[in-house]
Homo-oligomer: A and B are copies of this chain.
Amino acid sequence: MLNVLLLNAYSANHAERLRHLLTTNWQVSTLDESEREASLEAALRSADALVTTRYGLAMPPAPRLRLIQSPVSGHDRVVAMAIPPQCTFCNVHEHEVAVSEYVMLAMLEWKIRLARLDAGFRAGDWTGGVGVAGHTHGELAGKTLGLIGLGHIGRAVARRAKAFEMRVIAVTRTPRSGEDHVDAQGSMKELDELLPRCDFLAVTCPLSEETRGLIDARRLALCKAELVIINVARAAVLDEEALYTALRGHRIAGAVLDVWYAYPTADNPAARPSRFPFHELSNVIVTPHCSAWTDGLIERRWRFIAGNLDRLARGEPLHNIVLRPRLAAQGGAPTLTCLDN
């Protein structure tokens, strides 16, 4: 019998689901945030695996811990040096389906404006239809989609965009051959050449020191006036003030923004997402960091987590390894990879 501890509320909600999915012999226990301080030390002492979004230097010893499994993809709240040396750190993806569906919806809605057509038509307005001359909408076919980042999400977007007869061009840290759904691919250094060619630009890269503030005022000035930016990565890849200024002044046509510069807290559950009033602009569509947040995602992620626990129990290689055990490493400091969403 192995012990897996689901550490925070996000994980603990899914204990029953996990028990149902596991095929090896695990004791699944949870620790509520409120009782955490008192019992964390005892629970960690006997845990073989831990499902958590956070792991810091203040954690008590975890001598048996062999797997820290994040139930999300991003891991900016896991401190690499805090991870016990015998322990592997893994994350999950599975969100590329949901996020790519959101990106395609964003582009289609931008071109067709279903919400506006519906509202008008309910009020008796036939504008936009075949019977009223002069009001056509746009198409995705033939348009150019630029991707910043070509990881799980970028590739899922590219595959869908090609079915819409779009031209797909991408910059990525590590250009790879065999990307069937990408018409042209370059390194991040070639971003300045990519930008002026795009009708849509989807930001699908991880946030890192390399990508923080990547799209700034200078780069926005390289874009077409028709450009629509879709950000499903991290807000800080786009310079906050430069983006707001470009949108307000119609330097670019618009943006569909799902990720933000500020998030709600327990004290302030209706926090504004930026120090600028993006929500007052008419040329944006704004959503509350929901693009990945589907029923399908949750089901797939917990199936993956159960699979990794089963692999650990059977002594099989783990999947989605972000950080290998330092004890087994070839030396050097641990480095994090796969930083996307």
Contacts and interface: CB of A to CB of B under 8 A. Distances in A.
Given A102-B112, A114-B285, A139-B295, A128 B279 contact: no
A175 interface: no
A290 B117 contact: yes
Given A112-B105, A164-B101, A290 B139 contact: no
Copies of the protein in its oligomer:
2
B117 A109 contact: no
A255 to B, nearest CB: 12
A297 interface: yes
A160 B160 CA distance: 7
Interface in A282-324: 285-290, 292-298
A124 interface: yes
A142 B297 CA distance: 12
Interface stretch (A18-26, A59-67, A78-86, A264-272): A264-272
Contacts of A289: 126, 129-131
Nearest to A124: B270
B109 A114 contact: yes
Interface in A117-162: 117-118, 120-122, 124-133, 135-142, 159-160, 162
8 contacts: A97-B139, A101-B112, A105-B112, A120-B288, A124-B279, A126-B288, A131-B264, A139-B294
